[in-house]
Amino acid sequence: MDHHEISDIYLSRHVARNGRLLERSNDPRLRYIGQYIPQDKKSVILDAGCGDGKLAMYWHQRGYEKIQGIDLFDELNTWNTFNYRKASISQTGLADNSVDFIYCLGVILYLDDPAEGFAELYRILKPGGKVVFSAHTVHSPFTWERRLNRKFGGEIHLRDVKFKSADTYVTQSRRVGFRVLDMDGYELLWLPRLLRRVYRKLRQSIFGSGKRDGSAPEPWRKRPSWLKWLYATSAYHMLIALEKPEKT
Ligand SMILES: C[S@@+](CC[C@H](N)C(=O)[O-])C[C@H]1O[C@@H](n2cnc3c(N)ncnc32)[C@H](O)[C@@H]1O
């Protein structure tokens, strides 16, 4: 898929959603990012492939003043909460060593050569800066389900995507110089869609649905290394944290 196709597909998906809603504070992605995002609210943060900008709006609500979002859309209404410009994660147009922290969720899988994306993120990060990225895991039952749907014309946003393992991404990111800080994931159990919804409703009624008011992300629950490995290899999405070493 070229950039225009991807952008058209996601524009129609975003328009259908209420772009002003923040993500919930118990969203696993926010909880994971919360472990690595710098405490200094003046840090330069890049939301690489920001989609409708809900995550960037959330961090803006948390007090971050310098958030840059990039995606493939010509323009995006950010409600004056962050800066947006059209750029690919493999060619951001940002200066060398200019960004303190990057999160890049569900985007790296769109690159024919993810190594190009890692090299670009490495270039723009300041030494000591960190990246959190996520992607579908190749061995997850969620991905098998999506592949099956794709065969019948569904999942058009994933039409040409080649799913990759966490090991492949980690190898590529190490090659450009990154240090791998952590590998994990979210949503391990596969259930038919209906059961999943029932489970979510049940969980929400027991633990609450998470606040959408920009309150601090709930803490990430640490897992033993074998469980992390299981999540990184076969959960719905892997979550990987990288660091650009201080001395290169
Ligand atoms: C699954 S959505 C994720 C959006 C957002 N990161 C989130 O987690 O809500 C994937 C996004 O990546 C964008 N995208 C795909 N390829 C890209 C590229 N090469 N550079 C920048 N953004 C890209 C799409 O337009 C889409 O908005």
Kindly report each contact of residues 85-94 with a partner whose C-beta sits within 8 Å and lies 24 or more positions away, as own/partner.
88/3, 89/48, 89/49, 89/117, 89/120, 89/121, 90/116, 90/117, 90/120, 91/120, 92/46, 92/48, 92/120, 92/124, 94/46, 94/68, 94/124
Q: Is residue 248 part of a domain?
A: no
- For residue 224, the enclosing domain spans 3-243
User: Ligand 1, atom 20: nearest CA belongs to which residue?
Assistant: 88
Decide whether any atom of ligand 1 lies within 6 Å of the 117 Cβ: no
Can you list the residues of the chain whose pLDDT is less than 50? none
CA–centroid distance, 215 to ligand 1, in Å, is: 25
Look at ligand 1, atom 4, and give the residue with the nearest C-alpha: 51
Please check whether residue 15 lies inside any domain of the structure. Answer: yes
Ligand 1 centre distance from Cα of residue 51 (Å): 5
Three-class SS state of 131: strand
Write down the pLDDT at residue 159: 84
Q: Is residue 95 part of a domain?
A: yes
Q: pLDDT at position 12, please?
A: 76
Q: Is residue 130 part of a domain?
A: yes
Where residue 238 sits, what CATH number does that domain have? 3.40.50.150
Residue 235, SS3?
A: coil
Q: How far is the CA of 10 from the centre of ligand 1 (A)?
A: 8
Token code pair at residue 41: 């609210």
Cβ of residue 108 lying under 6 Å from some atom of ligand 1: no
Q: What are phi and psi of 93, to 5 degrees?
A: 80, 5
User: How many other C-beta atoms can be found within 10 angstroms of the C-beta atom of residue 67?
Assistant: 24
pLDDT at 209: 66
- What is the number of other CB atoms lying within 10 angstroms of the CB of residue 39? 5
pLDDT at position 69 is: 98
Number of domains in the chain: 1
Residue 172 lies in a domain: yes
In a domain, 219, yes or no: yes
Q: Which pLDDT score is estimated for 169?
A: 97
SS (H, E, C) 178-204: CEEEEEEEECCCCCCHHHHHHHHHHHH
Gap from CA of 183 to ligand 1 centroid (Å):
21
Per-residue model confidence (pLDDT) at position 199: 77
Q: What per-residue confidence (pLDDT) applies to 248?
A: 60
pLDDT at position 13: 73
Q: Which residue among 6, 55, 108, 132 is best mutated to probe the pocket of ligand 1, counting the most ligand atoms within 8 A of its Cβ?
A: 6
Q: The pTM is what?
A: 0.92
